[in-house]
Chains A and B, each alone.
Chain A
Amino acid sequence: MTTRHIISLLLENEAGALSRVAGLFSARGFNIETLTVAPTHDATLSRMTIVTSGTEAIIEQINKQLNKLVDVVQVKDITEGEHIERELVMIKISTAGLDCDQVRQIITEHEADVVDQQDDTCVIELLGNSEKINTLIAAMAQYPLLEVVRSGVSGIARGAEVLSI
Chain B
Amino acid sequence: MELTGAEIITEFLKDEGVEYVFGYPGGAVLHIYDAIYRQDAVKHVLSRHEQGAVHAADGYARSNGKTGVVLVTSGPGATNAVTGIATAYMDSIPMVVITGQVPSPLIGNDAFQEVDTVGITRSCVKHNFLVTDVEELTETLKKAFIIASTGRPGPVVVDVPKDITGFKTEYSYPESIEIRSYTQFYHPPAEQITQAVEMVRAAQRPVLYTGGGVILGDAAAELSEFARMATIPVTNTSMGLGGYPATDKQFLGMLGMHGTYEANMAMHNTDLLIAVGARFDDRVTGNIEKFCPQAKIIHIDVDPSSISKNVQVDLPIVGCVKDVLSDMLVLLKQQPIAEEERLAPWWSEINEWRSEDCLAFKNDDGMIHPQHVLQELYKVTHGDAYICSDVGQHQMFAAQYYKFDKPRRWINSGGLGTMGFGLPAAMGAQFAHPDATVCTITGDGSIQMNIQELATCKEFGLPIKIINLNNGFLGMVRQWQEFFYERRYAEVTLEAQNQPDFVKLAEAYGHVGMRITNPDDVTSALEEAMAMKDKLVFMDFIINPEENVYPMVPAGAGLNEMILV
Residue A64 contacts which of B122, B132, B181, B304 (CB distance < 8 angstroms)? B304
Query: Which chain A residue has the least Cβ–Cβ distance from B307?
Result: A64
In angstroms, Cα B307 to Cα A66, docked, is: 14
Q: Which of A16, A27, A68, A73 contacts B130 (CB 8 A)?
A: A16
Chain B residue at minimal CB-CB distance from A10: B181
Determine the chain A residues whose CB is within 8 A of the CB of B179 once the complex forms.
Answer: 70
Residues from chain A with Cβ under 8 Å of B147 in the complex: 70
- Residue contact B123 to A15, C-beta cutoff 8 Å: no
CB of A153, distance to nearest CB on chain B (Å): 23
Are B181 and A68 within 8 A (Cβ)? no
The one of A23, A61, A67, A72 that contacts B309, using a Cβ cutoff of 8 Å: A61
When the two chains form their complex, are residues A165 and B308 in contact, meaning their CB atoms are under 8 A apart?
no
Residues of A contacting B118 in the complex (Cβ-Cβ under 8 angstroms): 16
Q: Return B160 CB to nearest CB of chain A, in Å.
A: 15
Bound CA span A65–B123, Å:
12
Quick one: which of B122, B304, B308 contacts A57, CB cutoff 8 A?
A: B308
Interface pair A70/B181, CB less than 8 Å apart: yes
Any B CB within 8 A of the CB of A60: yes
Inter-chain contacts of B132 with A (CB < 8 A): 15
> Chain A: how many interface residues by the 8 Å CB criterion?
20
> Which residues of the partner chain B approach A61 to less than 8 Å between Cβ atoms?
305, 308-309
Q: Roughly how many angstroms separate A94 CA and B464 CA in the complex, as a whole number?
A: 77
Q: Is B127 an interface residue (CB 8 A)?
A: yes
Residues in A neighbouring B183, C-beta threshold 8 A: 67
Partner of B181 from the list A15, A27, A60, A71 (CB cut-off 8 Å) is: A71
C-alpha gap A27/B124 in the complex (Å): 11
Known: A70-B182, A73-B180. A27 touches B123 (CB 8 A): yes
Q: Assess whether B511 is interfacial by the CB under 8 Å rule.
A: no
Is the CB of B303 closer than 8 A to any CB of chain A?
yes
Q: Which residue of A lies closest to B312 (CB)?
A: A57
The distance in angstroms between the C-alpha atoms of A65 and B147, with both chains bound, is 16
Is residue A20 contacting chain B, with contact meaning CB distance below 8 A? Answer: yes
**Complex Cα spacing A61 to B308, Å:** 8
In the bound complex, do residue B305 and residue A12 qualify as a contact, i.e. CB atoms below 8 Å apart?
no
30 contacts between A and B (CB under 8 A): A11-B181, A15-B130, A15-B132, A16-B118, A16-B122, A16-B130, A19-B119, A19-B122, A23-B122, A27-B123, A57-B308, A57-B312, A60-B308, A61-B308, A61-B309, A64-B304, A64-B305, A64-B307, A65-B305, A67-B304, A67-B305, A68-B304, A68-B305, A70-B126, A70-B127, A70-B179, A70-B181, A70-B182, A72-B181, A73-B180
Q: Which 8 A-B pairs have the closest CB atoms?
A: A64-B305, A73-B181, A70-B127, A64-B304, A27-B123, A68-B305, A65-B305, A70-B182
